[in-house]
Structure 1
Amino acid sequence: MVQGTSSNAGKSVVVTALCRTYAKRGYKVAPFKSQNMSLNSYTTNENAEIAMAQVIQAEAAGVEPSYNMNPILLKPKEDFVSQVIVHGKPAGDMNFYHYQNNFRKEALEAIESSLEALKKDYEIIVIEGAGSPAEINMLDKDLANMQIARMADADVILVADIDRGGVFASIAGTFSLLPEEDRKRIKGIIINKFRGNLDILMPGIRQIEDIVGVPVLGVLPYDDSLKLPEEDSASLSEHKYSSNGRIKIGVMRLPRISNFTDIDPLEYEPDVSIKLIEMCDEIGTVDALIIPGTRNSVSDLVALKESGLADEIKSLSSKIPIFGICGGYQILGNDIIDDNFKESKYGSVKGLALLDVQTRFGEVEKIVTQSQGKVLDEGMFECMNGNIIEGYELHEGLSYLRNSKPLLEVTEGCGNNYESGFDGAVNGLTAGTYFHGIFHNFHFRRFFTDYLRISKGYEKLGFDRDDFVEMKNFSIERLAEIFGENIDMEIFDKKIR
């Protein structure tokens, strides 16, 4: 099991590296995270929702992702309330107190059943913790760290982030706050995100080994050339998108932004730069605007209106392409009908009215499905007529078209609603879809960016090479190489033998 001295210490990347390392040695490996709080999620082929981090780890292991790899997913909603996803399906919206005190037994049962299922099918399970195991105010409520190590009878590797400072204090503090039985499980320490001279660090390493009585297995260098999906929206503050491209795509950073991995492939277009637009910003000069998914469409629509950005978006709609994904698509419509306050405290609201679409909440349970569709010859996408698009859906509202034309004919999945057979909408330069991952389709993404290139008088690139897929594969492979070059693998190998 991999635990950390804090959130964002590097647990996910260590698990990813271990999954790839042992998969390449011929083992059948599975990642496991009992409880993940994340707004970046994915639909497996079981039509189950899990965190994107475990999907990437499964990819590193060369196996199909499953809900058993992330049995509990918490998706923050608002006012200390999260949607609780159990085995890939919604179990309800719960506040922290209810979840910790009234749902704990059900959560532990789900976690244990998933762990047992993985043990039957895999030779190695690499478990990821969450946050820090030394949150002393919550030790008796733990569902993600030492409670799970005890359940699995797992040895623990502790990862510490040196980039934020205080690395030795965080290591010593973690050990000092843990009960003795849990301290004994920690067999090694990894220091992550190092940018300096290792010789200068070594005296501190020797001292911390003496203080805690556990060896430091190695130091992982900071490598910003590796490109892997971010775990949560807090990471966006640290992520530096390229600003040098001649094509600039604006992305609204909604207050409750979710599934922002949808925009990742655009970053790898050779001449494209991404501009994250905060609620306090002006949109400024961009060649296209994307409104991504959100965990709460109504609340974020209200925030757009209050910030003045809604009016700016409407004024740009006749000049540049505006594209909405899932919640962003709902925001672009005429109305969001939520008479039973299922989505938020605001109830029903008027949308931006750039697409003639009405969305209604409360008619069905959450749609969780992998999807496929064919592009229709409408608006700016008419030249893509017949192209096959793959994606996945995670939405609670259903949408109904009026005068806008659909973007896709659905061949698998739900789309706008189960009866229509279509997904999304197009109206001139404005379009939207329920298909997460639409820009992961290379031909669709390149057509979109080539459209922007041509509109600015540049030559189109055509469909020669998918830089995003190449970079993701390179990053996973290189991560495993860096891990092997800098970490003493003896403890891991002994455990497996």
Structure 2
Amino acid sequence: MVSSDKTKCIMVQGTASNAGKSVVVAALCRMFAQRGYRVSPFKSQNMSLNSFTTRENREIAMAQVLQAEAAGVEPHHHMNPVLLKPKEDFTSQVIVQGKPAGDMNFYHYQHNFRNQALKAIKESLDALKKDYDIIVMEGAGSPAEINMLDVDLANMQIARLADADVILVADIDKGGVFASIAGTFQLLPPEDRQRIKGIIINKFRGNLEILMPGIRQIEDIVGVPVLGVLPYDQELKLPEEDSASLSERKYRSSGKITIGVMRLPRISNFTDIDPLEYEPEVGVKLIEIGDEIGKVDALIIPGTRNSISDMVTLDEAGLAHEIKDLAMEIPVFGICGGYQMLGSKIMDNSLKESSIGSIDGMGILDVKTSFGEIEKIISQSQGTLIRGNGIFKGSEGEILRGYELHEGISKLGESKPLLRVLQGCGNYPQSGFDGAQYGLTAGTYFHGIFHNFHFRRSFTDYLREVKGLETIGYQEDHFQELKKFSIQRLSDLVEDNLDMDSFQDVLHLNI
């Protein structure tokens, strides 16, 4: 236990979204932890559809989970006290300290709920201060959104609340890095400007000598040192925070096996598919709405924040019919919202999911899903595979772990369940089963199911066997090993490219 008045708070802000705040926070968490400090990440308010269930069955953004892993501590809901999950029509589901507080539009959130959100942020920050030596905080977007300064719950107001020193991260890859730095300083009030103790330039690909004159000039202009220039490293493979980053993420698309993944308009928890890319000789093909599915060996329909709206989009694009035909030839696997869409009906009489109401699904699985009957399920879950058609035969009887985040419940007709639930909810409370399977098609509510090595390998080995390729068996889990390697490599990259003496001096640290 540490004294809360001795906890050091450092905040990483960015000149824009996707500047690299999340990964810099993760790197600093690892760096401090390796020096013996007890360190925690913290993001007061996050907007993301990529979330996770903590051990206490609370929901937080996946970015804070990665940062906690880098720090070597268990993820906790206090690390992300407010999570906004965009739904539709400028409405988001608001998650407060890991629990749903309701669906709100921007006006209602800012005018009627903001004080409650700020109270939760204060409570969570105080709770972390009791247990940690250093809190590495992450901002959101830019701190210089001048139309939002008075209602800010993610940047400078929270830095003031925590009395945090600020490191500003600027993305050079998009161009205009010096203008973005100078503009950020110019638009901030003087008291906030003084909190910025150093600058990090991120995603650099060029010749550092050519950049140095600009660095010296920007230091003179803003009066704050540039602490380092971080190189662009395409080899780093870490979970992304938001689906917007999928446009930049380049999955390995070529291989002897190709697994197609539908890029749904409201795709969520897309890190479910990350482990597949690290399967030997497997390529992952992201399929946009409007694209042809093309030749793939299997198809995954991932989670979505709005299964009804995305089902309508698939239908209007002609993809639902194409997927139904493909299901007779290749494995089709749905996760959460994707699972719901594979069913025959999605019933939403109370308009809980969208303003559209009830619709038909693809009808590949004999499953009917309904909304409005239960509170949101947030659970870490476990189950065992029920003997089926042999696609996952290597995992029969093995305990599979995942997590659930869903408001719909699903009831099966002729389709058989996929998993026997040992922990969690599954299809509906007290059902005892999760998911469904029929022919080559299956679905589950378990996010993270492909993070189970044997389950994933049995799936890809089945695909290899169908194509006449030699199966691999249960050798090394490349995904887990590379993830650990990437976190350490990220930390080393940041430390190697920071002026550590200046970093310690401006932040008054002894590391």
| Residue 51, structure 1, aligned to residue 92, structure 2 | no
The alpha-carbon deviation at position 244 of structure 1 amounts to 2.0
The alpha-carbon deviation at position 102 of structure 1 amounts to 1.2
CA distance in 1, matches of 2:280, 2:222: 48
The alpha-carbon deviation at position 252 of structure 1 amounts to 0.3
8 Å Cα contact 2:381-2:401 kept in structure 1 = yes
| Residue 321, structure 1, aligned to residue 331, structure 2 | yes
Give 1:194's aligned amino acid: F
| Residue 466, structure 1, aligned to residue 480, structure 2 | no
For structure 2, the residue ranges without an aligned partner over 5 or more in a row are: 1-10
| Residue 226, structure 1, aligned to residue 236, structure 2 | yes
Alignment of 1:102-121 (within 5 A): 102-121=112-131
Counting matched residue pairs gives 497
The alpha-carbon deviation at position 231 of structure 1 amounts to 1.0
Partner of 1:4: 14
Give 1:84's aligned amino acid: V
CA distance in 2, matches of 1:419, 1:84: 27
The alpha-carbon deviation at position 378 of structure 1 amounts to 1.1
Partner of 2:7: none
8 Å Cα contact 1:19-1:126 kept in structure 2 = yes
Residue among 167, 180, 196 paired with 2:206:
196
SS in 2 for 1:414: coil
8 Å Cα contact 1:377-1:383 kept in structure 2 = no
Residue among 134, 139, 147 paired with 2:149:
139
8 Å Cα contact 1:40-1:261 kept in structure 2 = yes
Q: What is the RMSD computed on CA atoms of the aligned residues? A: 0.8
Partner of 1:244: 254
SS in 2 for 1:27: coil
Give 2:406's aligned amino acid: H
8 Å Cα contact 1:326-1:395 kept in structure 2 = yes
Residue among 162, 165, 187 paired with 1:177:
187
| Residue 270, structure 1, aligned to residue 300, structure 2 | no
Render the CA deviation track for 1:315-337: whole Å, top value 9, x for unaligned: 10110000000000000001111
TM-score normalized by the length of structure 1: 0.99
8 Å Cα contact 2:182-2:222 kept in structure 1 = yes
CA distance in 2, matches of 1:382, 1:487: 49
For structure 1, the residue ranges without an aligned partner over 5 or more in a row are: none
CA distance in 1, matches of 2:173, 2:153: 27
Render the CA deviation track for 1:454-478: whole Å, top value 9, x for unaligned: 0000011111100000110000000
CA distance in 1, matches of 2:303, 2:16: 27
CA distance in 1, matches of 2:19, 2:392: 42
Residue among 421, 433, 443 paired with 2:454:
443
CA distance in 1, matches of 2:263, 2:338: 11
Partner of 2:95: 85
SS in 1 for 2:462: helix
Partner of 1:410: 421
Partner of 2:304: 294
SS in 2 for 1:473: helix
TM-score normalized by the length of structure 2: 0.96
Give 2:482's aligned amino acid: M
The alpha-carbon deviation at position 72 of structure 1 amounts to 0.3
CA distance in 1, matches of 2:393, 2:437: 10
Give 1:384's aligned amino acid: S
Render the CA deviation track for 1:58-109: whole Å, top value 9, x for unaligned: 0000000000000000000011100000000000000011111111100100
The alpha-carbon deviation at position 419 of structure 1 amounts to 2.4
| Residue 149, structure 1, aligned to residue 169, structure 2 | no
8 Å Cα contact 1:252-1:277 kept in structure 2 = yes
| Residue 423, structure 1, aligned to residue 434, structure 2 | yes
CA distance in 2, matches of 1:445, 1:358: 27
Give 2:289's aligned amino acid: M
CA distance in 2, matches of 1:385, 1:274: 25
The alpha-carbon deviation at position 279 of structure 1 amounts to 0.8
The alpha-carbon deviation at position 491 of structure 1 amounts to 4.8
CA distance in 1, matches of 2:215, 2:139: 23
Partner of 2:410: 399
8 Å Cα contact 1:376-1:382 kept in structure 2 = no
CA distance in 2, matches of 1:218, 1:381: 48
